[in-house]
């Protein structure tokens, strides 16, 4: 479904990704892990069209989407849950969701809102609350619900558990399990590396902008030597 082929992405003189290749097949949950500054967010933002790679290509469903406009990518079936959520804090939960669904037909939008209130009971109870008043866990669920409003075939999640209390981390991981059970394809960047890899079909370890190891989630999660040498260290 997604083929990222040897992309190099730069911020001015800083090369954040070097020749990185990642693929995601339909129905898979793929985890990207690695230390701070490894290039994980850069990778997701390049796929989502927020950054344009200097070299390499991104293909989605066989079509070249390298450097395509983010809005076009949402229409093509790709949605990003960005790091730090980036909600409209002055708008209510419902308004955030309606805004995200404004390009879909009215009956589809209604269906998606119903699905959101079923999948996220916490949000149903806060439907008319401004997003700025939500707790971290609630806001993260709203960010995921918002991305689902376009019914994406590929969901990109950037650090969905960042800054959450342990019980809320559990809520978000349970949610990933449920989305996977629904057949949703996901590419997830996660700081809870071992836990994400245990859940993932496959994983990639990034370091200093390069893919240094790839394998099944179980293989990578079990490789403690690998983790000791990367996680918690500078890139």
Applying CB under 6 A, the residues found at the interface with ligand ATP are 11, 14, 16, 34, 36-42
List the Cα angle 148/173/145 in 5-degree steps: 20
Q: Nearer to ligand ATP by C-beta: 87 or 189?
A: 189
Q: Nearer to ligand ATP by C-beta: 120 or 230?
A: 230
Q: How far is the CB of 46 from ligand ATP (least distance, A)?
A: 9
Long-range own/partner contacts, residues 23-28 (CB < 8 A, 24 or more apart)? 24/154, 24/185, 24/187, 25/1, 25/185, 26/1, 26/153, 26/185, 27/183, 27/185, 28/185, 28/186, 28/201, 28/202
Task: Report yes or no: 155 and 185 within 8 Å, Cβ to Cβ.
Answer: yes
Gap between the Cα atoms of 197 and 220, Å rounded = 7
Q: How far is the CB of 35 from ligand ATP (least distance, A)?
A: 7
Residue 134 DSSP symbol: S
Q: How far is the CB of 40 from ligand ATP (least distance, A)?
A: 4
Q: Nearer to ligand ATP by C-beta: 116 or 187?
A: 187
In terms of Cβ atoms closer than 10 Å to its own Cβ (0-12, 13-18, 19+), residue 11 is: exposed
Q: How far is the CB of 93 from ligand ATP (least distance, A)?
A: 26
Q: Nearer to ligand ATP by C-beta: 85 or 126?
A: 85
Which residue's structure tokens are 């342990």? 166
Q: Nearer to ligand ATP by C-beta: 112 or 207?
A: 207
Q: Nearer to ligand ATP by C-beta: 132 or 232?
A: 232
Q: How far is the CB of 213 from ligand ATP (least distance, A)?
A: 15
Gap between the Cα atoms of 88 and 133, Å rounded = 11
Residue 156 DSSP symbol: E
Q: How far is the CB of 90 from ligand ATP (least distance, A)?
A: 26
């Amino acid at each position: 479904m997604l083929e990222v082929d040897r992309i190099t992405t730069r911020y001015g003189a800083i090369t954040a990704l070097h020749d990185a290749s990642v693929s995601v097949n339909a129905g898979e949950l793929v985890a990207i892990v690695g230390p701070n500054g490894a290039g994980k967010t850069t990778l997701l933002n390049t796929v989502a069209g927020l950054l344009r790679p200097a070299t390499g290509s991104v293909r989605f469903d066989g079509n070249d989407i390298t450097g395509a406009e983010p809005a076009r990518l949402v229409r093509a079936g790709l949605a990003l849950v960005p790091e730090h959520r980036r909600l409209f804090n002055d708008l209510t939960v419902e308004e955030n969701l309606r805004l995200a669904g404004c390009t879909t037909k009215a009956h589809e939008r209604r269906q998606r809102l119903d699905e959101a209130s079923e999948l996220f009971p916490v949000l149903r109870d806060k439907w008319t609350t401004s997003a700025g008043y939500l707790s971290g866990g609630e806001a993260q669920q709203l960010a995921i619900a918002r991305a689902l409003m376009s019914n994406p075939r590929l969901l990109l999640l950037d650090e969905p558990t960042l800054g959450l209390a342990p019980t809320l981390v559990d809520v978000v991981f349970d949610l990933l399990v449920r989305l996977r059970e629904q057949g949703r394809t996901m590419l997830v960047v996660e700081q809870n590396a071992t836990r994400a890899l245990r859940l993932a079909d496959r994983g990639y370890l990034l370091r200093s902008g390069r893919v240094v190891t790839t394998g099944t989630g179980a293989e990578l999660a079990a490789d403690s030597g690998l983790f000791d040498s990367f996680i918690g260290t500078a890139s």
